[in-house]
Amino acid sequence: MGRPGSGALRHGAVLMCFAPHPAPLRPEYQEIDWQTPRRDGRVRVVEWTCDCRRPVYELCGSGGLYYLRRTAQGERAAESGRAIWAETHRLWIALLTGRAR
Ligand SMILES: [Zn+2]
């Protein structure tokens, strides 16, 4: 597997993706409360979406809590609120399946 920021590789004319793409948004979805990023401590990126599409979403951990990070080109990064793993992972799956954004 790749690292964050290396979700896609161009192989000749073919773009090969190794990280998931968020599914199209469903008519009813949970709006994530995106906030200004905190500047605290070490951040561990656990999962991420393919960087051939923007924004890129990452599931991050810091200080025992987890959150989602959204990074779009020419835009400040934004973070969801911090929560325990189970809650953040549920939000991550919802994002990937078009049920949260
Ligand atoms: Zn891709």
- 11 C-alpha to ligand 1 centroid (Å): 13
- 17 C-alpha to ligand 1 centroid (Å): 4
Q: What CA–CA distance (Å, rounded) separates 30 from 39?
A: 26
Q: How confident is the model at residue 2 (pLDDT cuts 50, 70, 90)?
A: very low
Say if CB 58 and CB 71 are below 8 A apart: yes
- 13 C-alpha to ligand 1 centroid (Å): 14
Say if CB 36 and CB 78 are below 8 A apart: yes
- 6 C-alpha to ligand 1 centroid (Å): 10
Task: Say how many C-beta atoms besides its own lie within 10 A of residue 50's C-beta.
Answer: 19
- 47 C-alpha to ligand 1 centroid (Å): 14
What are the residue ranges spanned by the domains of the chain? 30-96
Say if CB 77 and CB 18 are below 8 A apart: no
Residues in the chain: 101
- 51 C-alpha to ligand 1 centroid (Å): 6
Question: Span 9-28, mean pLDDT?
Answer: 87
The per-residue pLDDT for 78 is 97
